[in-house]
Chains A and B, each alone.
Chain A
């Protein structure tokens, strides 16, 4: 059997189409920008994006580093996974934490999720982009995640100060991306724009991409707060009066800072299980992301400020 037949059999035509589109986008950035970077958030989307980058430039290595914005509140499993991946693929990883935020003691518990996100994610990201002078940054955001993301271009222009002006996006016709920017302007690029959550999992399974174990159901100590299941990953998160930790079979659909990422009850312990579970799931993926709901049109507002 020729190699091409093997390849066709493993990926459905739908995933092959998505893969090829993403690879085209990744190459476009490498060809057009002086100093691109890939935002690596350790989650399943980042995993797919990194995997696609390794394929896109083969036999060369991806001609850009990874950047992780570390808020200091990621699950320990995530950091472990990150370091393994970097070693496994031999890619260059940059890590940045907002030093002022750290000094001011900003945290998701007492500062509130909004301030924490603003300072430790959005500001930190902007600092890092400026510090290394990146002119293009890949993000793993998908249009199906959220209604303002459904409005995003694949090449999303950001003015000076990294701001997004949703009313003044560049028309993006065919795949003739406008990659031209002036000094001080940058582009965010979303190679996974047209993927859905289900596509991500099916591709992860087909390509055997490593993911953080937290995505799989396991007995974990969780507490219930504001109707959400929170896993206390370390001692920095004190229990409130009346709260108790119970061991439950849970998993995470979306991973961020641990006090802000809610788990779901689930028994899905394999990729097959996760995919089967998705077919009957009736809530949205980001419903467990506490930062999305702290204001109306919250995502859009954060994006205008420079969030991904």
Chain B
């Protein structure tokens, strides 16, 4: 072990005027067995933070589970789960605290195994710096690259490249420089502000707390010197004011406050603020805390704001300065790290959490995924566990955000599986795609387009028209089954379920036929507004009434499908014996017999006779894809 006395360890003194040490949150990461846990064990051990009874336990554990023969296995100080100790690996993040005279540290020890990458990302999300370990014998590995890339995506700016196990390569400077060169070649693209290579041995303590005597060639800092000196100030005070409302504080009718934590910027009583999502403005009346009102609140302060006006503010809303607002969009592009076994499928609906807001969202398209080895972009249809891709997302209602690169607190989100409630993905917003009319949105927040994004397809009326017995219902039924299988929200309106209820009072006179179709049209329009695909099978012999329905909805939402089966063929089929009865004069006003059928002139889809019902349904399905009603 490196010589040298234990450094004096002091602990932060609280209370008025006490010297305050700055906090550094960092993580250790890198490939399996590179020595991350051992390094943290070493830091705790050499800063003398391990109480005697735990040292005794460590000695016992090392004999039982240790990977280091007769010596203490320092990784066992950190690998606290039974499964970890038995297998000698880290499975989940451990958070440990230690401090030196100059600084206090929270360190997240993360697993190297690829299987547990999401736990590494968990540790990285709250860190300001990363210690990336490399086994000196093995050099840069895929996991080294993957972790470096994730660190960079998650906004970590400062990296320590810890070339560990240097004892196993005879403390070779040549080996060290070779690895450092390799790594820098790869990491150039990752936009870190600092990369500090350090040669060390976690197991024997060289260059961790104590400067090694066995590497005269090494002139850089020891790990602790570097971590103590690292400047990670983020300048949150200077950023725009952002305050996600967490809880509405309403003890009685006279007090209505908005509790939350300031993400960035500074707010003062009297400041003009805006509810980002609605555009409603007001003025900060008070900044309330249990210790009395404050004149200002800064990043990290948990406070309760009251406003001078009765504006509508709810959990999830973001308060900002009126003159410096976040973007409000319902579509944006983001980097997404997939974290569950079930692959990511564009189109499926998840619950997004951004700030304190939960909102249904779906990944509308996957632009590319990134090869962690080469950082190259590759075309892909899905993301598997631990893969990273650049995606477009849509939310069911507009959300306020800043790009993650500008503000970690307002640019990050997670996706939650709506059935299992697992945390499925972590995301970092790059930019908004379509400004949701950036101003004073006061209409209903949930509208047709919001519902549409939730469904993953566009709403439409599929209007089947044609003679009795032409096959409308048969085709519509098959089509609905197909659409349903694709996850589309459908509904079927036909004579049977309408004539028996809603239109029970109508007969078959021309006027009643028109009224029948008018009502059906109105109902179909409501379904379209709800975001569904409505299949309507009605003889609907008159052009005018079909046009009437067409005009109820937006362009492109009414799709007329003419089932063009000739009268002779329908008469031949006569599935319900209706033609026979009409011809016998037993039914009056029967279309094709004693009432006209006006052939459509501008039908979107014509299904000529001779197609099997399955074929016809497929034809419609293709047409719907072409028209982008479904994906």
Q: Which residues of A approach B to under 8 Å, CB–CB?
A: 2-4, 6-7, 9-17, 19-21, 23-24, 27-28, 30-31, 54-61, 143-144, 146-151, 166-167, 169-178, 180-182, 185, 193-194, 196, 198-199, 202-203, 205-206, 278-279, 281-284, 287, 296-297, 300-301
Contact = CB atoms under 8 A, between A and B. Distances in A.
Given A14-B104, A15-B14, A59 B255 contact: yes
B315 A151 contact: no
Interface in B544-590: none
Given A2-B295, A173-B122, A206 B54 contact: no
B94 A151 contact: yes
11 contacts: A3-B292, A7-B292, A20-B302, A169-B119, A173-B423, A176-B412, A181-B421, A198-B11, A278-B11, A279-B10, A284-B51
A287 B14 contact: no
Nearest to A182: B421
A300 B126 CA distance: 25
A12 B12 contact: yes
Contacts of A19: 302
A298 to B, nearest CB: 10
Nearest to A278: B11
Looking at chain B's contact residues, is the secondary structure mostly helix, strand, loop, or mixed?
A: mixed
B15 interface: yes
B81 interface: yes
B81 A14 contact: no
B315 A193 contact: no
Given A28-B246, A171-B119, 18 more contacts: A7-B291, A11-B14, A14-B14, A15-B14, A27-B259, A28-B247, A31-B247, A55-B289, A56-B302, A58-B290, A147-B79, A148-B81, A173-B121, A174-B408, A178-B421, A198-B11, A297-B82, A300-B81
A283 B53 contact: yes
A170 to B, nearest CB: 5
Given A198-B11, A283-B53, A176 B289 contact: no
Contacts of A182: 421
Contacts of A55: 289-291
B413 A176 contact: yes
B14 A180 contact: no
Contacts of A23: 261, 302
A168 to B, nearest CB: 9
A180 B421 contact: yes
A281 B259 CA distance: 39
B251 interface: yes
Interface stretch (B85-93, B191-199, B222-230, B528-536): B85-93
A7 B94 contact: no
Contacts, number: 204
Contacts of B96: 143-144, 150
A15 B20 CA distance: 10
Nearest to A55: B290
What are the 5 tightest A-B residue pairs by CB atom distance, in nearest-first order? A147-B80, A202-B14, A58-B290, A55-B290, A3-B292
Interface string B92-105: 11111100000010
Nearest to A146: B80
Nearest to B17: A9
Contacts of A59: 249, 251, 255, 257, 288
Nearest to B291: A7
B285 interface: no
A199 B13 CA distance: 9
Interface of B: 10-18, 20-21, 23, 51-54, 77-83, 85, 91-97, 104, 106, 118-119, 121-122, 125-126, 246-247, 249-251, 255, 257, 259-261, 288-296, 300-302, 304, 315, 339, 351, 353-354, 356, 358, 408-409, 412-414, 416, 421-423, 426
Contacts of A193: 95
A151 B81 contact: yes
Nearest to B154: A173
A14 B21 contact: yes
A178 B14 contact: no
Contacts of A301: 82
A6 B249 CA distance: 24
A3 B295 contact: yes
A178 B416 contact: yes
A206 B416 contact: no
B95 A194 contact: yes
Given A7-B291, A58-B289, A287-B51, A170 B92 contact: no
B14 A31 contact: no
Nearest to A12: B14
Contacts of B413: 176
Given A55-B290, A171-B339, A279-B11, A150 B94 contact: yes
B53 A284 contact: yes
Contact of A174 (B10, B125, B304, B351): B125
A242 B391 CA distance: 74
Contacts of B20: 12-14
B14 A203 contact: yes
Counting chain B CB atoms within 10 Å of each CB, which of A20, A148, A178, A282 scores highest?
A: A178
Contacts of A281: 51
Contacts of B79: 147
A164 to B, nearest CB: 11
Contacts of A166: 81, 83, 91-92
Nearest to B77: A147
Contacts of A175: 126
B291 to A, nearest CB: 5
B294 A7 contact: yes
B97 A196 contact: yes
A280 to B, nearest CB: 10
A197 to B, nearest CB: 10
Nearest to A29: B247
A177 B409 CA distance: 13
A58 B11 contact: no
A170 B422 contact: yes
B91 A167 contact: yes
Contacts of B423: 170-173, 178
A193 B416 CA distance: 23
A1 to B, nearest CB: 11
A174 B337 CA distance: 14
B19 to A, nearest CB: 9
B295 A31 contact: no
B53 A194 contact: no
B97 A144 contact: yes
A239 B356 CA distance: 57
Contacts of A20: 261, 300-302
A92 B85 CA distance: 42
A283 B52 contact: yes
Which of A59, A278, A279, A296 counts the most B-chain CB atoms under 10 A from its CB? Answer: A59
B12 A167 contact: no
Given A14-B23, A31-B247, A55-B290, A178 B353 contact: yes
Given A14-B12, A54-B290, A151 B412 contact: no
Nearest to A299: B80
B508 to A, nearest CB: 51
Contacts of A167: 81, 83, 91-92
Contacts of A6: 291-292
